Amino acid sequence: MKKPNSPLAAVLALVLIALLIFFVHRKLASGRMEVTISQAQINAVLAKTFPQNKKYLKVVKLTYSEPRAVLITGTDQVRVSLKVKATIGISGLEKSYDGAAAVLTKIGYDSEKKQIYLQDAGLDDLSIPKIPNKYLEIAKTAATLAASQYFDKIPVYNLTEKDPAQSLARWLLRDVRIADQKIHFVFGLEER
């Protein structure tokens, strides 16, 4: 029986390392690797995450549903349009109002989790046409809270360890931009 520290094991390990370096170098031959995420991919992730509902201030229940993301070209932002249902009142005396909301988020990258995600969400627009004025401010306050809570770090893409190039690239994020209705993440060895 051979010892694990035999010269043959060392040579095999070096060959495997050399092959891995060769493969990764070929994949990153230009010194960079680009991952793109389309609106459709983001919408598929959001569809799995919603509907979301929560009660605020004990009298307002908000339900966000049917999210649709739109990438804003030339920025790092995504605008998500949603249906919103505001149910106002105490149990047994509730009244519901339907409307629409838009949430503006930024694209983020968590280097520890190696995830691309939506972050820093804020309410961009809220329209609930039939809601009485006396409830409008409380609904806006609740919708603002809900936007930041629902969209806090929704992962839209995970860099995988299974692909050797992505495994290495997970540490080398260089740029994030939106173009051609896709989010482009550039990973590589060159300076920003």
What does the block give as tokens for 189?
Answer: 């060895």
Task: Write down the pLDDT at residue 44.
Answer: 92
Is 10 domain-assigned? no
Residues paired with residue 63 on neighbouring β-strands, in sequence order: 53, 85
Share of the chain above pLDDT 90, in %: 23
Helical segments of 29-183, H only: 39-49, 133-150, 164-169
Is 3 domain-assigned? no
The count of domains in the chain is 1
Give all strands of the β-sheet with 52-56 in edge-to-edge order: 52-56, 60-72, 77-88, 95-110, 115-127, 154-158
Task: Write down the pLDDT at residue 192.
Answer: 40
Is 47 domain-assigned? yes
Is 13 domain-assigned? no
191 pLDDT tier (thresholds 50, 70, 90): very low
Task: Write down the pLDDT at residue 2.
Answer: 46
Residue 87, domain extent: 21-188
Is 4 domain-assigned? no
Mean pLDDT in residue range 157-183? 66
Q: Report the CATH number at residue 63.
A: 3.15.10.40
Is 135 domain-assigned? yes
pLDDT digits (tens, 9 = 90+) for 91-119: 788 899 999 999 999 888 777 777 788 88
* Position 169 pLDDT exceeds 60: no
Residues paired with residue 86 on neighbouring β-strands, in sequence order: 62, 97
Selected residue with higher pLDDT from 161 and 120 = 120
Query: pTM for this one?
Result: 0.72
